[in-house]
């Protein structure tokens, strides 16, 4: 190949640059929220007493936990899209939601009599939670993994894990609007398992689709 031809080829390639990972992430995040929310509303719907229980403490607290998880996971996942050392992920951010949840559990244990602890933790919708959250998070996870592939991650397993946790946080937030089990003991028992299932799936798939 002649030098002039090589220069022309490089120019043409430069004109076909992919969108920045940050833009891809924003698009995938918005699409994930719309997909998960639309799926819940069009199938199960929100609980009938949604407005009434907003005046309680336990119901809004679920959203504090799930949104804290989604936001922290979004920050950590976003950093994995870039190979630059200064953008290394800070998984410690993911401890924010568990810390908030632990505080809620402690308060719940102080309020409820010991005889009601097990019943509150078991709830009535454990299997529904373990089913619906992964289902709601499946498409968002796929979108996030696609975004991970468009980036330049050097940590595909971690990126996939964080993508799954982010998808789980989004899915859990929407599921919380339907779930009638509001005790922090229930949230601390079953929500993390459902989110972790997506995290494990994301780590496994991410190691394959985002590998350089």
In a domain, 167, yes or no: yes
Q: How far apart are CA 118 and CA 176, in angstroms?
A: 20
In a domain, 75, yes or no: yes
**How confident is residue 14, by pLDDT bands cut at 50, 70 and 90?**
very low
pLDDT of residue 84: 59
In a domain, 8, yes or no: no
What is the per-residue pLDDT across 56-68, written as a single tens digit (0 to 9) for each? Answer: 999 999 999 999 9
pLDDT of residue 150: 76
- State which residues form the domain around 85: 21-209
- Inter-residue contact 141 to 159 (CB < 8 Å): no
pLDDT of residue 2: 52
pLDDT of residue 198: 97
Task: Give the number of domains in the chain.
Answer: 1
In a domain, 4, yes or no: no
pLDDT of residue 10: 42
In this predicted structure, which of 45-54, 76-85, 133-142 has the lowest mean pLDDT?
76-85
């Amino acid at each position: 190949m002649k030098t002039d031809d090589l220069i022309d080829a490089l120019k043409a390639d430069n004109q076909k640059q992919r969108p920045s990972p940050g833009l891809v992430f924003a698009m995938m995040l918005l699409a994930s929220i719309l997909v998960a929310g639309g799926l819940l509303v069009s199938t199960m719907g929100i609980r009938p007493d949604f407005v009434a229980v907003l005046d309680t403490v336990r119901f809004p607290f679920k959203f504090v936990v799930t949104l804290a998880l989604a936001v922290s996971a979004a920050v950590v996942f976003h950093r994995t899209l870039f190979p630059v050392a200064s953008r290394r992920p800070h998984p410690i951010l993911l401890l924010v939601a568990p810390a908030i949840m632990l505080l809620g559990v402690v308060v719940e244990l102080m309020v409820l009599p010991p005889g009601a602890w097990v019943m509150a933790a078991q709830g009535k919708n454990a299997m529904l939670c373990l089913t619906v959250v992964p289902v709601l998070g499946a498409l968002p996870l796929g979108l996030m993994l696609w975004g991970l592939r468009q980036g330049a991650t050097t940590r595909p397993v971690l990126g996939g894990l964080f993508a799954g946790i982010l998808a789980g946080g989004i899915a859990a937030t929407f599921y919380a609007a339907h779930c009638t089990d509001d005790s922090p003991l229930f949230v601390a028992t079953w929500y993390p398992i459902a989110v972790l299932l997506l995290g494990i799936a994301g780590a496994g798939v991410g190691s394959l689709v985002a590998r350089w």
